[in-house]
């Protein structure tokens, strides 16, 4: 009985990660339209990104001030690999990649800021629905580009066996190649989503479990090392937030590139 109560103190800290309804709206079929704290923090992140770039774009100068230098280096960092990977054609994807990078980065950072008690402090990207939504956008862009540039015949044809295979082998190999490519295309958004979700939630779980130790032992002597660890871990989380946003945008570029140059 006592052990159970103590275990509850640790899991109590984990409840911080749960989703909470702010405004409950009706459920239509399988879709729940309620406004949760995740949605509110997503809106806040989007507003931060929008206002930041709106303000910077309003006061562009020939001699950039601090804000403009920040925005410009952010834009260069997020999209610097575009032309390197795709070439001149890559300039078209500047906006979506920049948006993905800044939005994901802001969402990751918003989750690290302490928040009011009436709304649970949750990171939007620690919710697998959010990351799958973002990955689905990348998936749609990738497939749309593939079909648009090569046509349905050319794009799906690039999934089949390369020319030069003997006729007798070609038909069974085509089936295998097609299925393997289909699996590959479906696994790309899956790995994008799970990577972002896993990295974000793993860091938060470690922090919360450490704080759970403080709750469990309730002694100042034991509380200090976990607290020091939590502070260090929060610093590491800022690094992870940045690197995960970068990896997401970089892999999106690579996936789009693979669709544009399909069959080469």
Partner 1 sequence: MDAETAAKLAAGLGMGLATLGPGLGIGYMTGRTADAIARQPEASGDIRTAMIIGVALAEALALYAFVIAILLAIAG
Q: Which of 194, 206, 209, 215 binds partner 1 (CB under 8 A)?
A: 194
Looking at the Cβ atoms of 40 and 233, the one nearer to partner 1 is: 233
Phi/psi-derived region of residue 151, left when phi > 0, alpha when psi is between -120 and 50, beta in every other case: left
Q: Please measure the distance between the N-terminal and C-terminal CA atoms of the chain and give it in whole angstroms.
A: 65
Cβ atoms < 10 Å from Cβ of 3: 7
The H or E element spanning position 104 is helix 94-110
Q: Does 48 bind partner 1 (CB under 8 A)?
A: no
Judged by CB under 8 A, the stretch of 55-63, 68-76, 193-201, 256-264 that binds partner 1 is: 193-201
**Could you tell me where the beta strands, DSSP code E, fall in the chain?**
21-23, 27-28, 31-32, 35-36
Judged by CB under 8 A, the stretch of 2-10, 133-141, 192-200, 223-231 that binds partner 1 is: 192-200
Q: Does 198 bind partner 1 (CB under 8 A)?
A: yes
Number of residues that make up the chain: 264
Looking at the Cβ atoms of 149 and 195, the one nearer to partner 1 is: 195
Q: Which of 41, 103, 139, 197 binds partner 1 (CB under 8 A)?
A: 197
Q: Does 81 bind partner 1 (CB under 8 A)?
A: yes
Looking at the Cβ atoms of 56 and 134, the one nearer to partner 1 is: 134
Within 8 A by CB and 6+ apart from 188, the residues are 138, 139, 142, 251, 255
Interface of this chain with partner 1, residues 129 to 168, rule: CB under 8 A: none
Interface of this chain with partner 1, residues 226 to 255, rule: CB under 8 A: 243, 246-247, 250-251, 254
Distance of alpha carbon 69 from alpha carbon 77, whole angstroms: 12
Residues that bind partner 1 (CB under 8 A): 81, 84, 191, 194-195, 197-199, 202, 243, 246-247, 250-251, 254
């Amino acid at each position: 009985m006592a052990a159970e109560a103590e275990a509850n103190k640790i899991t109590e800290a984990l409840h911080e990660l749960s989703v909470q309804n702010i405004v409950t709206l009706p459920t239509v079929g399988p879709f729940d339209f309620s406004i949760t704290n995740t949605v509110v923090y997503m809106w806040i992140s989007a507003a931060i990104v929008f206002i930041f770039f709106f303000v910077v774009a309003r006061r562009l100068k020939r001699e950039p001030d601090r804000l403009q230098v920040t925005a410009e280096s952010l834009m260069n960092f997020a999209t610097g690999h575009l032309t390197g990977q795709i070439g001149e054609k890559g300039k078209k994807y500047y906006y979506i990649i920049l948006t993905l990078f800044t939005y994901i980065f802001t969402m990751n950072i918003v989750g690290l800021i302490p928040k009011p008690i009436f709304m649970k402090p949750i990171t939007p990207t620690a919710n697998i629905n959010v990351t799958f939504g973002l990955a689905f956008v990348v998936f749609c862009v990738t497939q749309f580009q593939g079909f648009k540039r090569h046509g349905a015949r050319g794009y799906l044809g690039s999934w089949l066996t390369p020319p030069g295979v003997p006729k007798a082998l070609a038909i069974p190999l085509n089936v295998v190649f097609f299925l393997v490519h289909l699996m590959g295309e479906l696994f790309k958004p899956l790995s994008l989503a799970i990577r972002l979700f896993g990295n974000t939630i793993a860091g938060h779980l470690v922090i919360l479990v450490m704080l759970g130790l403080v709750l469990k032992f309730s002694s100042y002597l034991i509380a200090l090392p976990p607290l020091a660890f939590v502070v260090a871990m929060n610093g590491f989380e800022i690094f992870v937030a940045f690197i995960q946003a970068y990896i997401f945008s970089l892999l999106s570029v690579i996936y789009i590139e693979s669709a544009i140059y399909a069959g080469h």
